[in-house]
């Protein structure tokens, strides 16, 4: 069986694919073994280099750094979604005085290197953020102030703002592509019913586009999580910065890098599993079976 764009491989093709897969696996395993042997030969797996991670103080420091990383990532993702949605609405507007500035903002922040953006916000506004943090610390309840880490606002806010500006611009293009991916007949039918453009966008296009955009949104959220490591350049105490403090003290850079990388991989895999669950839930809610059940219920409803 074949299609226009793809031919199902025959016995020789499947055998060739199997052979190349086996060769690739062997080569990859060999490279991993070579790296492990090199690390072992330089003493990177000796117990004294891993002993600091058994100390309660180091463990608490890593947990605090992980909490700081997640705090920055969650705030940046939420603000990026809001900022991206606003830019997308402006980019899709029929009014040129909204469409052109929104497009210019999107292209500008997508083009600026994120490190430079972080440094610009940090050197330009860190004093203002610190003063705001002092005022919030005096007015907010202590538990909420600790949750938001207002005492670190001088470094947290520049990182979050820079991540919001950059990733919001990227998400705006993702949103626009998702809305354009919805079949045009959906919006035409809505206009024929007398709905306004804002109603069509809110009631028809966005709910359908969300399912299309979900994988890309999750991928960009993972990028935001990894980009929080750039807070290292402004001394924000996230995982990479905490790792630097550890290996500067104990001279165990490779074990520290392995521990930090393992934490990042575990968090990213958790996000990916959550996205898979959400996608499966959306498929059950809006899949063929759900549509068939809704269509079957229409005659029963009209019979009354």
Cβ atoms < 10 Å from Cβ of 212: 16
Compute the distance between CA of residue 217 and CA of residue 252 in angstroms, rounded to an integer: 36
Distances (CA, A) of 122 to 69, 80, 155, 185, 299: 17, 18, 7, 47, 62
Task: Say whether 9 sits in a helix, a strand or coil.
Answer: coil
pLDDT-wise least confident of 167-171, 195-199, 215-219, 228-232:
195-199
Distances (CA, A) of 226 to 27, 76, 220, 232, 246: 28, 12, 10, 12, 20
**pLDDT recorded at residue 198:** 79
What residues form DSSP beta bridges with 2?
Answer: 7
Task: Say whether 2 sits in a helix, a strand or coil.
Answer: strand
**pLDDT recorded at residue 4:** 54
Average pLDDT over residues 220-232: 92
pLDDT one-digit tens code per residue, 154-193? 999 999 999 999 999 999 999 999 988 888 888 888 888 8
Compute the distance between CA of residue 267 and CA of residue 273 in angstroms, rounded to an integer: 10
Mean pLDDT of the chain: 86
Class in CATH terms, 53-279: mainly alpha
In degrees and rounded to multiples of 5, residue 141 shows phi and psi of: -60, 145
**pLDDT recorded at residue 199:** 83
Judged on CB neighbours under 10 Å (0-12, 13-18, 19+), 74 is middle
């Amino acid at each position: 069986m074949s299609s226009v764009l793809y031919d199902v491989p025959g016995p020789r093709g499947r055998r060739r694919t199997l052979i190349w897969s086996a060769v690739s696996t062997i080569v990859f395993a060999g490279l991993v073994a070579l790296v492990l042997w090199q690390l072992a030969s330089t003493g990177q797996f000796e117990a004294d280099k891993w002993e600091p991670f058994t100390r309660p103080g180091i463990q608490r420091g890593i947990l605090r750094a992980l909490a700081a990383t997640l705090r920055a990532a969650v705030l940046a993702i939420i603000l990026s979604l809001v900022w991206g949605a606003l830019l997308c609405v402006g980019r899709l507007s029929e009014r040129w005085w909204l469409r052109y500035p929104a497009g210019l903002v999107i292209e500008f922040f997508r083009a600026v290197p994120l490190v430079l953006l972080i440094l610009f916000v940090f050197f330009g506004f860190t004093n203002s953020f610190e003063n705001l943090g002092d005022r919030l610390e005096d007015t907010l309840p202590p538990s909420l102030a600790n949750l938001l880490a207002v005492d670190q606002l001088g470094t947290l806010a520049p990182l979050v703002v820079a991540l919001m500006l950059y990733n919001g611009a990227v998400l705006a293009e993702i949103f626009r592509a998702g809305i354009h991916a919805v079949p045009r007949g959906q919006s035409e039918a809505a206009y024929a019913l007398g709905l306004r453009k804002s109603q069509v966008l809110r009631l028809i296009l966005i709910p359908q586009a969300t399912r299309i955009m979900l994988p890309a949104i999750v991928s960009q959220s993972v990028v935001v999580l990894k980009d929080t490591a750039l807070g290292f350049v402004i001394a924000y105490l996230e995982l990479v910065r905490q790792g630097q403090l550890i290996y500067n003290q104990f001279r165990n850079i490779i074990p520290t890098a392995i521990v930090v990388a393992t934490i990042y991989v575990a968090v990213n895999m958790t996000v990916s599993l959550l996205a898979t669950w959400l996608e499966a839930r959306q498929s059950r809610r809006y899949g063929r079976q759900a549509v068939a059940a809704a269509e079957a219920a229409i005659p029963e409803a009209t019979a009354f």
